[in-house]
Structure 1
Amino acid sequence: MRQLADIPHPDVKITLFSWNGKYLIKLEKGQLEQTYKVSEMDVTSEADVRQLLDAEFVAAAVQRFAQMRQDLQAAFDRHEL
């Protein structure tokens, strides 16, 4: 796996990788992460992948992190951990 870029963002850490014919978009916030795989056949360049990371996409990912955190906490609570 080759790291292509760290993409600055104030709310999440975004890293772009190239691996096995795919671009991997990794978003991290605290202990949680989301990874999106985009086939190199679906885009023409790294610039196209960066274009996908518009404000709407990142805002949805940030909201998803909040839901993921709630889901994890609910599991801890259910099992009294």
Structure 2
Amino acid sequence: MRIVGDIAHPRLKISIFHHAERYAVKFEHAGIEITFKFSAEEGATDLASIKAMMDNAFIAAAEEKLRALIPMRLEKIAEVLPAAREGEFDEII
């Protein structure tokens, strides 16, 4: 799989990949990513067609999904982090 393009966005990193007659569009924000895959049968025939599919409404919906996942990630970090810090330093006698 190789990167063939990107879409400029003020808050998200949006990368477009191509592999085996398929395109993948990856949206990244705050340590979370979601990927949508499209084939030629679904209208993904080249980079221009993928960019045309990624209209403002689709990008806004993807951003909303990413933002909805942020609390889940932060809760897991908070759950694991205190346990990891307990053994961080040697006991001083």
User: What's the TM-score, normalizing by structure 2?
Assistant: 0.73
One-letter amino acid matched to 2:60: A
The 1-side partners of 2:24 and 2:46 are apart by: 13
Partner of 1:54: 55
User: Does residue 5 of structure 1 match 2:8?
Assistant: no
- Answer 1 or 2: which has greater helix percent: 2
Percent identity between the aligned chains?
30
One-letter amino acid matched to 2:4: L
Ranges in structure 2 where 5+ consecutive residues have no aligned partner: 81-93
Partner SS, residue 57 of structure 2? helix
- How many pairs were matched up? 79
Tell me how far 1:75 sits from its aligned partner: 4.3
Ranges in structure 1 where 5+ consecutive residues have no aligned partner: none
- Please identify the structure whose Cα radius of gyration is greater: 2
CA contact (8 A) 2:24 2:35 kept: yes
1:1-80 map, 5 Å: 1-43=1-43, 44-76=45-77, 80=79
Structure 1 residue ranges, 4+ long, deviating more than 6 angstroms after superposition: none
User: What's the TM-score, normalizing by structure 1?
Assistant: 0.82
The 1-side partners of 2:77 and 2:15 are apart by: 29
RMSD, matched Cα: 1.6
